[in-house]
Structure 1
Amino acid sequence: MIDPLAEVVTLLQPGARFSKLVVGSGPWHIRRSDAGQPFYCVVLEGASCLVLDEHDPIELRSGDFVLVPAAYGVAMSSLVAPSAEVPETVPVALAGGEFRIGDPDGPTDLRMLVGHCSFDSPDAGLLVSLLPQLVHVRGEPRLATIVQLMRGEFRERRPAREVILARLLEVLLIEALRSATGTAASPGLVRGLADDRLATAIRRMHESPTKAWTVAKLAKEAALSRSAFFERFSRAVGIAPMAYLLAWRMALAKNMLRRNENAIAEIAERVGYGSRSAFSVAFTRHVGLPPARYARGPAES
């Protein structure tokens, strides 16, 4: 059976680009702007408060994992935040690559791993649009096990620590995405797959991207009326069904063009277009470059 989430994550090519261990003490608050970069936070010990632009505050506890595939304004503080007159906390670098926030002499009451992951796909923007805007996972035993392994690597400082941490983070990202199901998830592919009716239609699109899908045909796969399916899909996934199908077809096409393994006419057929010209028009409108120029890469495009 086709796994849509696995396909999207595979095309994204997630990896660990930058991470740091932050230890906190007492009251503190900090704010940063990440300009759309993928941000993550793993709380190893203690608790803190996280506020993202356009989201309600989130209390993070030990074992929690947060992933924001495209972060902009990120604010964090101790659970008991300092008064507004207190200046923003400036992290202080310690030995071993750690950073300290809050009271420099007080007892440590927080340890967390924060940083940026990377999505190495040149099409990351399109693929990220299919993911939830916010992934917050709590109480998942498998994630807790991975977090424990990461905590151990930070504490023991054994050889090849950075390599192990990078691999653990990759696994953590994928596990978090597939754990973030249910209505609590923000709109995106993960939330759509949590709905059995919608999941059936999404799988059909991934299994047969060449099929001449319509909203009516997809609604039939989901055993819903056309209007009910359209509204339910748009609310859960965050975009309309045909917009999702177009995004997925273009992601597949861009991947094949980058690999230069297929002729443009063959790629057109494999993503559901009856002719090379029809595909070229759709691709150019969606991407901003004709398929042939896109395939040559940025140096020639």
Structure 2
Amino acid sequence: MDPLDEVLALLGTTSRLSASMVAGGRWAVRFAPPAGVKFNTVRRGRCLLRVDGVPDPVALGPGDCFLLTRPWPFTLASDPDVPVQPAQPIFETAVDGVARAGEGDDVFLTGGAFSFTERARALLLDSLPPVVHVPAAAPEAASIHWAVAEIDTELRQARPGGQAVTEHLALVMLIRILRLHLARGATRGWLAGLADPVVGPALRAMHGRPERAWTVAELAGTASVSRSTMAARFKEVVGRGPLEYLTSWRIELAAERLRRGDETVAAIARAVGYGSESALSVAFKRTTGLSPRVYRNQRDPVVR
């Protein structure tokens, strides 16, 4: 399995749509820090996106989409100098699933959020920029709009199997956005490593056989480079050494098995590359702060 496929399979992704928003004239709406990962698509009109902590606003046009990967407040506005009003009262008074701001209906936005398990944020989301802007001209934009429309239909019509369909559609959206981020030449983080000619083969080798007692020299051989080159390049791109990454990936696999099944801790330890239950327990507690048994009883909360 491709490493991206594997990571996405562990994310526990769900999605939900918020009320749509219609706006016109001069307006500005400020949103509280989103729970989970916020997304919006511009169905009609133009506006500005300002995110706290991001220096430059993003100009949005018809067909544009954006993804917010941090729990930071943000503002959507017609112009940069308009006094803001809070989003909550506007959306609490939405009629037929549509909130209204300003005067008129020049702008129409549909949005929602992805939810992930807590550990997924460190695994994937922290490697993304705070704002991922998908212009309407990008090839991914059309499929994202299609997915949003289908999610909207499924949720509003409450058809059998609708929840499963919406979760798959949400994953389609996320994959398209991640592909766009990679195509733009991500320079650092786990995703950038997938496209790197040195780091990529090592990542695929570790994901293909996580139980193997990999050495840096063996991983270097997958990319036909020296041990020192692999160690330096992996740390430069991913932000940690290859064996440190392998440990973290094994812990993610163990955490997934603890959440989803009833295998013994000893069986899980063998499956993910640890020689004994005690060896896994030490590494697991060092990484998560919990022993495997406590983690299994607590389960993994979902960020919503």
Instruction: Report the counterpart of residue 202 of structure 1 in structure 2.
Output: 203
Q: Quote the Cα distance in structure 1 between the aligned partners of 2:74 and 2:231.
A: 33
8 Å CA contact 1:137, 1:180 repeated in 2: no
1:50 matched to 2:49: yes
Instruction: Report the counterpart of residue 62 of structure 1 in structure 2.
Output: 62
Unaligned runs of 5+ in 2: none
In the TM superposition, residue 41 of structure 1 has moved relative to its aligned partner by 1.8
1:115 matched to 2:83: no
1:98 partner amino acid: V
1:27 matched to 2:26: yes
Q: Quote the Cα distance in structure 1 between the aligned partners of 2:65 and 2:230.
A: 32
Quick check: 245-254 or 255-264, which moved more? 255-264
8 Å CA contact 1:53, 1:73 repeated in 2: yes
Instruction: Report the counterpart of residue 145 of structure 2 in structure 1.
Output: 147
1:132 partner amino acid: L
8 Å CA contact 1:132, 1:187 repeated in 2: no
Q: Quote the Cα distance in structure 2 between the aligned partners of 1:113 and 1:185.
A: 27
In the TM superposition, residue 131 of structure 1 has moved relative to its aligned partner by 4.5
Unaligned runs of 5+ in 1: none
Q: What CA RMSD, in Å, does the superposition of the two structures yield over aligned residues?
A: 3.2
In the TM superposition, residue 72 of structure 1 has moved relative to its aligned partner by 2.2
Task: Tell me the TM-score normalized by structure 2.
Answer: 0.79
Q: Quote the Cα distance in structure 1 between the aligned partners of 2:263 and 2:186.
A: 37
Instruction: Report the counterpart of residue 284 of structure 1 in structure 2.
Output: 285
Instruction: Report the counterpart of residue 212 of structure 2 in structure 1.
Output: 211
Instruction: Report the counterpart of residue 269 of structure 1 in structure 2.
Output: 270
Q: Quote the Cα distance in structure 1 between the aligned partners of 2:297 and 2:274.
A: 21
Instruction: Report the counterpart of residue 37 of structure 1 in structure 2.
Output: 36
Q: Aligned residues: percent identity?
A: 36
Q: Quote the Cα distance in structure 1 between the aligned partners of 2:51 and 2:96.
A: 29
2:193 partner amino acid: G
Q: Quote the Cα distance in structure 1 between the aligned partners of 2:258 and 2:166.
A: 33
1:233 partner amino acid: F
Matches within 5 A, 1:1-301: 2-34=1-33, 37-55=36-54, 56-78=56-78, 80-83=79-82, 86-88=83-85, 90=87, 91=90, 93-101=93-101, 103-104=102-103, 106=104, 108-119=105-116, 121=117, 123-129=119-125, 131-134=127-130, 135-138=132-135, 139-148=137-146, 150-151=148-149, 159-160=157-158, 168-185=169-186, 187-297=188-298
SS of alignment partner, residue 112 of structure 1? strand
8 Å CA contact 2:13, 2:167 repeated in 1: no
8 Å CA contact 1:21, 1:97 repeated in 2: yes
8 Å CA contact 1:70, 1:128 repeated in 2: no
Q: Quote the Cα distance in structure 2 between the aligned partners of 1:172 and 1:265.
A: 37
Q: Quote the Cα distance in structure 1 between the aligned partners of 2:193 and 2:251.
A: 20
Q: Quote the Cα distance in structure 2 between the aligned partners of 1:48 and 1:231.
A: 43
